[in-house]
Structure 1
Amino acid sequence: MFYNLRQFLERNGFYVSSRLADRLGMRAKNVRLFFIYLTFATVGLGFVLYLNMAFWLKIKDLIYTKRTSVFDL
């Protein structure tokens, strides 16, 4: 059960960290460590921040879709 949860989080949950790391020009590992340390230091605030960013990135992806050509309208 733990293995399945880990696989699910690695496939879907770390996309926020990867996108933020690409945007900042950092490694995704460092961004993930920052969220982990922030969560321990502030008793859950880092996790709430991570979920909030995931929500807004999902909304942004739904609104702004890349079209390959004019005929995709």
Structure 2
Amino acid sequence: MKLITNIRHFFEKHGFEVSSRLADRLGMRATSVRLFFIYLSFFTVGLWFGVYLTLAFWLKLKDKIYTKRSSVFDL
């Protein structure tokens, strides 16, 4: 259990350090940088979900337009 706690503290310390160093370089607060990355992750997930829905719509529309007929008498 002690090992897991030490690993967690290591990643928390160095993970937050990335945001802090980037914020220092940009002249911003670290919380603003973290919020930016959180909002960016939600935006990218939502963007790809929108692409998925658009493709599903186009495939459904294509299936309705180009229906395959089994014989000549279906015309």
TM-score by length of 1: 0.46
Higher RCO (CA < 8 A, seq sep 6+): 1
TM-score by length of 2: 0.45
Give the number of the structure whose alpha-carbon radius of gyration is greater.
Answer: 2
